[in-house]
Amino acid sequence: MTMLNRATPDADPTVAITPIEMKLLDHLLPKGGPSPSRASTLSDYLTKIARLGGYPDRAHDPPPGNTVMWLDLSRLIDIRIGAAIEPEFVDN
């Protein structure tokens, strides 16, 4: 994912993450900044994944590396599993 982002940062995010993961990330980390109506790219979503674990995303920070992405992608998977099983326990 990291290398794909470096090669084609403006790629469609569905080449690396699922639409459900995109929806979860949009809910957890809403897009801010000057142009929230701009279409999201692979780079935008990988930055959101990195922010799950505390990546600061400041203007002069390098892009998140492999270790950061690996740790935070596992966090996203845990969130996705929780979102999938939540109705089973909430409806009691």
Q: How many domains does the chain have?
A: 1
84 close to 27: Cβ distance less than 8 angstroms: no
Buried/exposed code over 40-73 (b: 16+ C-beta within 10 A; e: otherwise):
ebbbbbbbbbbbbeebeeeeeeebbeeebbebbb
pTM: 0.83
Residue 66's domain is classified under what CATH number? 1.10.740
Q: What is the pLDDT of residue 32?
A: 63
- What is the span of the domain harbouring residue 19? 2-90
User: Please, what is the Cα angle at 30 between 24 and 31, to 5 degrees?
Assistant: 125
Q: Which residue has the tokens 């995109």?
A: 22
Could you read off the pLDDT of 10-39 as tens digits, one per residue? Answer: 999 999 999 999 999 999 998 765 555 567
